[in-house]
């Protein structure tokens, strides 16, 4: 298993699932048709699944369900914002489960996907066999402010470039300044804002800046992200934590990188205080990418730990 991941594989079944409001989701199943069902919730908002994400799952053990959320990746329409809220995404997850005839499944969500996983477990605890939550994001105003304003000083030079992308009068409220520009009617405004926004994220991830103007998929990604962030992710973060009591009986493992610059450990610690029964696993030196060898190994170990509990 290179880098701790399982060998590359292809789906054994693919679906184009109409979920209403003109949205068509790209859904795939990989691994074993008779394996332990697990749904993978990708990050973002606005990102998508990749073929590498299938490699978290032992193909002999799991029936892995991956899908691109509304407006994302291979789902259509690309960048579609109509009827695209957290409530819609939660309904989509449940429709996928019902369509595939799955009674209960493991829910594996990272970053934005961790918020979706928690919100789904709150609504449908009877259909969840366990949760793996990586790089916790709760959608709180504090998290959004710290990220946009670079308060953790994780990539100060990149943040300075982000701030320089808007007039000085707007630099105290970068989240508002950028979400407005990423949703602007003028293509040139959206492209400029998207390039600054993406380059900041890439710097936090240890990646080089873009070498070209953002393409259609990158513009769609940032538009969906801005749509959600401008609305506080369409969720009450405090209420989500308070409602952990509704599903705290479920087995859960929180995998958190100690040096995650995108979703710092403070959110994972808040979640663990609200849900002490969940196991908190801090990966020393771990950052944000779930595909990094240390984070991938921890996620795979967590999957196998919960799978062992299910099959006992």
Number of other CB atoms surrounding residue 140 within 10 Å = 21
Residue with tokens 């670079």: 150
Tokens at 88, concatenated:
């819609």
**Residues identified as active-site:** 111, 260, 288
User: Quick check: pTM over 0.95?
Assistant: yes
Average pLDDT, integer, range 222-244: 97
Q: Which of the four pLDDT bands, split at 50, 70 and 90, describes residue 34?
A: very high
Average pLDDT, the chain: 96
Closest by Cα among 188, 184, 179, 175 to 214? 188
φ, ψ of residue 6 in degrees (nearest 5): -75, 165
> 4 versus 309: which is more confidently predicted?
309
Separation between Cα atoms, residue 98 and residue 19, nearest integer Å: 12
Separation between Cα atoms, residue 121 and residue 253, nearest integer Å: 14
**73 dihedral zone (left: phi>0; alpha: psi -120 to 50; beta):** left
Reply yes or no on whether the pLDDT at 4 is more than 90.
no
Average pLDDT, integer, range 21-33: 98
Tokens at 268, concatenated:
């994972």
CB 38 within 8 A of CB 63: yes
Summarised one tens digit per residue, pLDDT across range 136-182 is 999 999 999 999 999 888 899 999 999 999 999 999 999 999 999 99
Q: What is the DSSP letter of 261?
A: S
Residues with Cβ within 8 Å of 253's Cβ and at least 6 positions away in sequence, in order, are 131, 132, 133, 278, 279, 281, 302, 305, 306
Structural domains of the chain, with CATH: 2-139+235-311 (3.40.50.1820), 142-232 (no CATH)
CB 98 within 8 A of CB 90: no
Tokens at 75, concatenated:
């789902």
pLDDT at 33: 98
**Strands 36-41 and 62-67, bridge-based pairing:** parallel
Separation between Cα atoms, residue 300 and residue 296, nearest integer Å: 6
Identify any residues that bridge with 18 across adjacent strands, giving them in sequence order: 24
Separation between Cα atoms, residue 227 and residue 234, nearest integer Å: 10
Identify any residues that bridge with 31 across adjacent strands, giving them in sequence order: 63
Rounded to 10°, the helix 86-99/112-123 angle is 70
Rounded (5°) CA angle 94-97-103: 115
CA atoms within 13 A on the CB side of 3: 15
Separation between Cα atoms, residue 46 and residue 212, nearest integer Å: 20
Rounded to 10°, the helix 156-163/187-204 angle is 170
Average pLDDT, integer, range 8-29: 98
**Strands 23-31 and 279-283, bridge-based pairing:** unpaired
Q: Which of the four pLDDT bands, split at 50, 70 and 90, describes residue 312?
A: very low
CA atoms within 13 A on the CB side of 260: 27
Residue with tokens 């299938």: 54
């Amino acid at each position: 298993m290179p880098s701790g991941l399982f060998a590359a594989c292809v789906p054994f079944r693919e679906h184009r699932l109409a979920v209403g409001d003109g949205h068509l989701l790209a859904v795939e199943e990989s691994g074993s048709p008779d394996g332990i069902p697990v749904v993978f919730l990708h990050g973002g908002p606005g990102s998508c699944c990749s073929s590498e994400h299938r490699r978290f799952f032992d193909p002999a053990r799991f029936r892995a369900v991956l899908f691109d959320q509304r407006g994302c990746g291979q789902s259509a329409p690309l960048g579609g914002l109509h009827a695209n809220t957290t409530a819609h995404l939660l309904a989509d997850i449940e429709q996928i489960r019902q369509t595939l005839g799955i009674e209960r499944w493991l829910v594996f969500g990272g970053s934005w996907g961790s918020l979706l996983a928690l919100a789904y477990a709150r609504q449908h605890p009877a259909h969840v066999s366990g949760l793996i939550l990586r790089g916790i994001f709760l959608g709180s105003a504090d998290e959004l402010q710290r990220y946009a304003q670079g308060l953790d000083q994780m990539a100060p030079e990149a943040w300075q470039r982000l701030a320089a992308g808007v007039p000085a009068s707007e630099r105290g409220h970068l989240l508002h300044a950028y979400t407005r520009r990423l949703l602007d009617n003028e293509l040139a405004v959206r492209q400029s804002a998207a390039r600054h926004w993406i380059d900041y994220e890439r710097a936090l991830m240890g990646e080089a800046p873009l070498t070209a103007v953002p393409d259609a998929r990158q513009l769609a990604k940032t538009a969906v992200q801005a749509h959600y962030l401008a609305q506080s992710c369409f969720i009450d973060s405090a209420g989500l934590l308070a409602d952990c009591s509704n599903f705290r009986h479920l087995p859960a493992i929180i995998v958190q990188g100690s040096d995650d610059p995108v979703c710092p450990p403070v959110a994972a610690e808040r979640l663990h205080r609200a849900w002490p029964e969940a196991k908190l696993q801090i990966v020393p030196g771990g950052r944000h990418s779930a595909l990094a060898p240390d984070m991938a190994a921890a996620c795979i170990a967590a999957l196998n730990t919960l799978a062992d509990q299910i099959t006992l």
